[in-house]
Structure 1
Amino acid sequence: MNILIAEDEKRVRNNIADFIASLDQNYQIKGRASNGIEALQCLERHQIDLLLVDIQMPKMDGLSLIKRAHKKWPYT
C-alpha cells in the first residue's frame, strides 16, 4: 500500500511515517508533504492508495486537498 502523509509539522509527519514503517513492510511511504499544494504535486507523481491528511495546513487546508484529490483520483 502506497501512502502519502500531508502534515505541516515535520516532527509529527516523521513520527507518523516511522510508525507506519514499523507496522508492515507492505506499507510504503511514497511521499511526505508539508501542505496541500505539495501533496497534490506528489499525487501527480506517484500512485497513492492512502492519503493521510492534517486538516489545518498552510497554503491549502486538508479539506480542500481531500476535495481536489477525490475529483482527480477517486479511488485514493
Structure 2
Amino acid sequence: MAEIKYEIKETLGVLSENNKGWSKELNLISWNDREAKFDIRDWATEHEKMGKGVTLSKDELIKLKEILNDMDL
C-alpha cells in the first residue's frame, strides 16, 4: 500500500476527545503535496495515527456552514 503523505498546515479546532486520547479535529491539511483542504477526522495524540474522515474544499465548507446555519438545532 502506498504511503500517504500529509502536512497539517493549521489546526482550526478540536470538536471532541475520546477516553483513549484521540481527538476529532478540524484542520487545514495538504495531502500528498496537493493544495490544502479542510479536513475533519480523528487523530491520535501526536498526530501519528488517524481515523477515517472527510475532506472538504473551501466551497464545500461554505455550503456545509450554510446548511448548519439553516438547521433548527
> Above 0.5 in TM-score?
no
Q: State TM-score, norm by structure 2.
A: 0.25
> Between Structure 1 and Structure 2, which shows a larger proportion of helix residues?
1
Larger Rg, first or second structure (1 or 2):
2
> Between Structure 1 and Structure 2, which shows a larger proportion of strand residues?
2
Higher relative contact order (CA 8 A, sep 6+): 1
Q: State TM-score, norm by structure 1.
A: 0.24
